[in-house]
Amino acid sequence: MKITVLGSGAGLPSKTRNTQSFIIDLIEEINEYFLIDAGEALQHRILNTNIKPSKITNIFITHLHGDHIYGLPGFLSSRSHQGGEGVPLTIYGPKGLKYWLETSFEITSSHLNYPIEFVEVSHNDCFDISGFTVSTFLLDHNIDSFLYVFEEPVKKGSLNVNKLLDIGVTPGPVLKTIKESTSFEHNGTTYLTEDFLGSPVDGRKISIHGDTRVICSEDYYQLINHSDVIVHEATYLTNEKEKAHQYFHSEIDDVLENFNNVSYGQLLISHISNRYDEDDLKVIQDKLPSEVTLMYDLLDITIPRDSR
């Protein structure tokens, strides 16, 4: 599992940053990608990766500001010609997203060759998507903007082969059958599989925010607590807390202070204003804790198990 950054900028693109888009790479887990937001030039950024658009089967839009959706119509149209024919797609997002896309396609006489299902999200929704639990939380922005929390299912512990050998079970294809069962029979005796398994392995958890002011509430902390990765905006990076609040955004020191209330593995800072050049960002990054990263386009972050 990994996150690929296709766009890390805020509002306007710069020479080095597109506006916000992320991929959660789940190819090893479920042979799919999840796309979160679709900033302008999304399909151009994808050309710099090995991502196959046909394997993007679920899209999650945090909110309807242009820097998060202007790349969506072009991507959806191109997907028709990039292996997507007949491959269903589901798009999750706020009210109005379906209307905007359908109007765009109607006016431009665009036709897709695959079905799209639209799911309108609201506060505290919970979805089961390809075995992952996806939860939503309404953030504090000047239009409805959502946090998506992606939770992988718990994985069974490893088989204790030595313990199986003790009862006469020899290694081979039978081990897979045993692990996938709740009980098994050997030499006339029935055994519970759980007695031969190690401790379950917690699934990984990724929390990706749309644009927002800093949120301080117990239900919010509980939802994102123990995330392996948190993606949070910090449009302002240089002690401009009042300005950030005025424009419904976040300032990095506020974000860091707020996350003292939760446990996490990595914090990725997104939606970075183009007022900061690369030299500015290097100076800021050098002052940050090791678990905090200022995102940049085409950054890949691998998320191992037990990373928090």
The pLDDT tens digits of the residues spanning 194-225 come to: 999 988 888 999 999 999 999 999 999 999 99
Q: How confident is the model at residue 305 (pLDDT cuts 50, 70, 90)?
A: confident
**Which pLDDT does position 201 carry in this prediction?**
85
**Which pLDDT does position 152 carry in this prediction?**
96
Q: Is residue 249 annotated as involved in ligand binding?
A: no
Q: Which residue in the block uniquely carries the two structure tokens 């089967």?
A: 57
| The length of the chain, given as a count of residues | 308
Residue 264 in contact with residue 224, Cβ under 8 Å? yes
Residues of CATH 3.60.15.10 domain(s) within the chain?
A: 2-155+201-302
The pLDDT tens digits of the residues spanning 57-67 come to: 999 999 999 99
Residue 152 in contact with residue 132, Cβ under 8 Å? yes
Residue 265: phi, psi to the nearest 5?
A: -90, -55
How far lies 266's CA from each of 18, 82, 179, in Å?
Answer: 22, 33, 32
Calculate what percentage of the chain has a pLDDT beyond 70. 99
Report, as an integer, the average pLDDT of 113-122: 98
Q: Is residue 63 annotated as involved in ligand binding?
A: yes
- Range from 48-52, 105-109, 195-199 carrying the lowest mean pLDDT: 195-199
Report, as an integer, the average pLDDT of 87-111: 97
Q: Is residue 111 annotated as involved in ligand binding?
A: no
Is the pLDDT score of 157 beyond 90? no
| Residues 6 or more apart whose Cβ sits within 8 Å of residue 253 | 239, 241
Report, as an integer, the average pLDDT of 33-41: 96
The pLDDT tens digits of the residues spanning 247-303 come to: 999 999 999 999 999 999 999 999 999 999 999 999 999 999 999 999 999 999 999
Which of 25, 37, 67, 228 does the annotation list as catalytic?
67
| Residues 6 or more apart whose Cβ sits within 8 Å of residue 60 | 34, 35, 36, 37, 92, 93, 134, 148, 208
- d(CA 136, CA 38) in angstroms, rounded, equals 18
| CATH annotation of 2-155+201-302 | 3.60.15.10
Is the pLDDT score of 25 beyond 70? yes
Catalytic, 297? Answer no
Instruction: Report yes or no on whether pTM surpasses 0.85.
Output: yes
Is the pLDDT score of 81 beyond 70? yes
DSSP 8-state code for residue 306: T
- E strand or H helix that includes residue 284: helix 278-287
Q: What is the mean pLDDT of the chain?
A: 95
Is the pLDDT score of 246 beyond 70? yes
Show the beta-strand stretches assigned E in 139-236: 146-151, 183-186, 189-192, 205-209, 227-233
- d(CA 282, CA 244) in angstroms, rounded, equals 21
